[in-house]
Amino acid sequence: MKPSIHPDYHPVVFQDANTGTAFLTRSTATSDRTIEWDTPTGPRTYPLIIVEISSESHPVWTGKRRIVDSAGQVEKFNRRYGRRRNP
C-alpha cells in the first residue's frame, strides 16, 4: 500500500442498538464514544459505534420474519380498484 493515501484502519467495537450485542472488529470508522473491552492482556479502550441492525437483530439472520397480512392487502386492493369481470 502507498503511504499516506489510505484511511486509518484500527480496532473498533460495534454495538447493536436493539439487542446490546457488541463485537470487536477493524474499521476505518471513528467515534467520540469509547468502551472498555476485555482482551487477553487486560481491558483496553476502543471507539464505540452504535448500529441499528446487525446479524443479531436482522430478520434474515434471526429467522424472525414479519408476518404480512396478504389477505388484507388483497381485500384493500379490491375495495380500492374493484374486481374486473371478464365479458
**Mean pLDDT throughout 60-81?**
69
Return the number of other C-beta atoms located less than 10 Å from residue 58's C-beta. Answer: 13
Q: Which amino acid, residue 47?
A: P
Burial class (CB in 10 A: 0-12, 13-18, 19+), 1: exposed
- pTM, full prediction: 0.64
pLDDT band at 29 (very low <50, low <70, confident <90, very high): very high
Domain ranges of the chain: 10-81
Name the most confidently modeled range: 25-29, 50-54, 56-60, 73-77: 25-29
Instruction: Return the pLDDT at 82.
Output: 78
Check residue 26 and give its pLDDT.
96
Q: What is the pLDDT of residue 1?
A: 67
